[in-house]
Chains A and B, each alone.
Chain A
Amino acid sequence: MKTELSPRAKVALYGLMCVLLIPFVFPTWWMITSSVKPISDIFAFPPDLWPRRFDWLTYQRVFELQPFGRQYWNSAYIAAIVTVGTMVVSSMAGYAFARIKFPFSNALFMVVLLGLLIPSEVTIVPLFQMFLGWNMINTHWPLILVPIFGAPSVFATFVMRQFFISLPGELEEAARVDGLGRFKIFWTIALPLAKPALGAVAIFTFLHSWNLYLEPIVFLSSTHMFTLPQALTQFTDAYGGAMWNIQLAAATMTAIPVLLVFIVAQKQFVEGLAHTGLKG
């Protein structure tokens, strides 16, 4: 399909993509610009593409109303730990399921895949009871342990397995003849080759943890323990009325850094996804 296009076709293509882009870009644009509008201007009809008046105080209010910096830190460090932990757990399991022959490996893989099928709403009550038994309610442990070891990491394991299956076996065989142990092979040969897949796993996992919504609501109860998605729904007056502009300012602050990271690292990002082994 990669033939040079005629100039006319190029113009048509640019035009089509620009139109398609509107619903993808406009909401983010509206979120950012509305976050500095006074509340009475937010619902102007038709909407303003650029604020008529600026109210920068909204950003200050975000930090006054909630320990937002602390909540930012909570989300960031939880996502970081979960990402690294998932990379370790899932690459090990994925490697074993793909390249080591051991009894019941297929059956056990099916057991692990069960995790893919269970929505978190289904098991949230028993999980709550378990973590209460371990005195881990209103701590970040449930948000760290469950994603790394539980259902959310299954997808990562699946991706890693698919990747390792597609890897040629010769390198490994040579290493085995040299008498290298399984762990050495995994660590020094397989893992370095798996960088693109690990990159994809890291991205998926980070976004999943960063966006987690139901679990923090259930497991966390004090504001200084909250994560960002949970904090976003908290910008209300004492009677539950939403403070729209402040909410949008907070939402903007949660989105911008991730967007910036994406723009800077987007080449690696896309290539990482392209190598997930989901190709086939």
Chain B
Amino acid sequence: MSKFAYLKNTAALAAILLPLAASGTAWAQDAVNLRMTIWSANEAHLALFNEIAAGFTETHPNVSVTFEPLPFENYTTTLTTQIAGGNAPDLAWIFETSAADFVTSNALAPLTDAFGATDGYELDDVTESATALWTREGQLYAYPFSTSPFAVFSNNDLITAAGARTPAELIEAGEWNWDNALATAKAVADAGNEGLVIRDFNYQTWQNLTSFWRGWGADSWSADGKTCTFADQPMIDAMTAFHNAVFVDGSIPGPGENVDFFAGDAAMTVTQISRASLLPQDGFDWDLVPLPEGPAGSYSVVGQAGVGVFANRPNTETAVEFLAYMTNPENSQKLAQFFPPARASLLNTETLSATNPLLTPEQIETVVVNGITNGQVIAGRTNFAQIQQSVRAALDALWVADADVPAVLGNVCTSINPLLMR
């Protein structure tokens, strides 16, 4: 059923809604205000976006763009409430975890043709690995404006004080693997601080453990998204290692403990490199290194965020034009200071060094460039929110000292298999 027909239906029940249906016509040459929802309220981010929007207004004097920061915590919920109420924004940031839902729905406008027709856009420059998640049947439905690798930040002050080996020393010795990383974490934890934190996991957002379990070659479900692989041997091994680290060694802080690496509480943290901006200016001696090797070898994981344009809206065409402008080579370079780019031409040490003064060229090369080039995204799926919730509920049983790891993981699959088969 089309939006219009649906509105007519509702209006039949409540005549109050009629003004809605009437407001569907475009104001062709009149002033156009595009609304774009984002989840960052960071002033520097907003300043940059406004600068880019001002550039667009120079060539499109009738167009203005408003950036609307929604709470990160309730972002997708608030966005879908707006859509449900018939008040979708023109453009929106989209989490990688809801990518599948948005891309497979008909909510977003296709971008490939419009981008291809834009002068100087160089669509070929955008890497295929970055766009895979956002593409359906050869059409791009959202542009991955941020492709941020997971990496390890270390607090070398704490590590040396505990007499343990720093990640840099381990890398030099060719021994940078999870066993040694956790041993270093344990040494720091035993010395009275905290070990290694998987940031933003909080024993709820389990998909962030992907940066850990891929080291064992484990994943949450098969590539086609139809079979649960939580109960497979690699996942059992990975989760057993994780469980031991938390409840036996204490090298990873337990559930409900508040530990902030960037406040100097912990030896190491696994997070996306964009968090470098959280490092305190006059803080500790820190380092940034790639993820350790796991039993399954070396690997890298990236997190992504996309921008999409809502389809069948009065200003959809203008919004696509704006997105093409916002992500053209020139503006992509500007965005690269906050959001690691998806363009091959920008993925080099020189460009990224200029925009990321905090990082050394070596860190950019080994962590950022390699990470983006080889990294695989976190497994997503349509209906992710419900699956996420079901897995979280089942995994809760794992976060106690005497948990039976294989049994709990078996329960995870029991509870999500019906959802995956749909």
Contact = CB atoms under 8 A, between A and B. Distances in A.
B118 interface: no
A134 B19 contact: yes
Contacts of B259: 43
A125 B85 contact: yes
Interface residues of B, number: 40
Contact of A129 (B41, B86, B278): B86
B81 A133 contact: no
Contacts of B82: 221
Interface in B47-68: 68
A203 to B, nearest CB: 29
A129 B10 contact: yes
Given A39-B260, A130-B14, A137-B85, A241 B19 contact: no
A241 B272 CA distance: 13
Contacts of B29: none
Interface in A34-84: 39-40, 42-43, 65-66
Contacts of A65: 41
Given A133-B17, A238-B40, A239-B274, A40 B85 contact: no
Given A40-B263, A40-B265, A133-B17, A239 B72 contact: yes
Given A40-B265, A238-B41, A238-B42, A223 B17 contact: no
Given A132-B86, A137-B87, A238 B45 contact: yes
Interface size class of A (residues with CB under 8 A): 20 to 34
Contacts of B258: 42-43, 244
Given A40-B264, A40-B265, A218 B200 contact: no
A126 B265 CA distance: 47
Contact of A223 (B16, B69, B72, B81): B69
Interface string A227-239: 0001001101111
B84 interface: yes
A135 interface: yes
Nearest 7 interchain pairs by C-beta: A240-B72, A128-B85, A238-B42, A238-B40, A40-B263, A133-B17, A43-B258
Interface of B: 10, 14, 16-20, 37, 39-42, 45, 68-74, 78, 81-82, 84-87, 199-200, 258-260, 263-265, 272, 274-275, 277-278
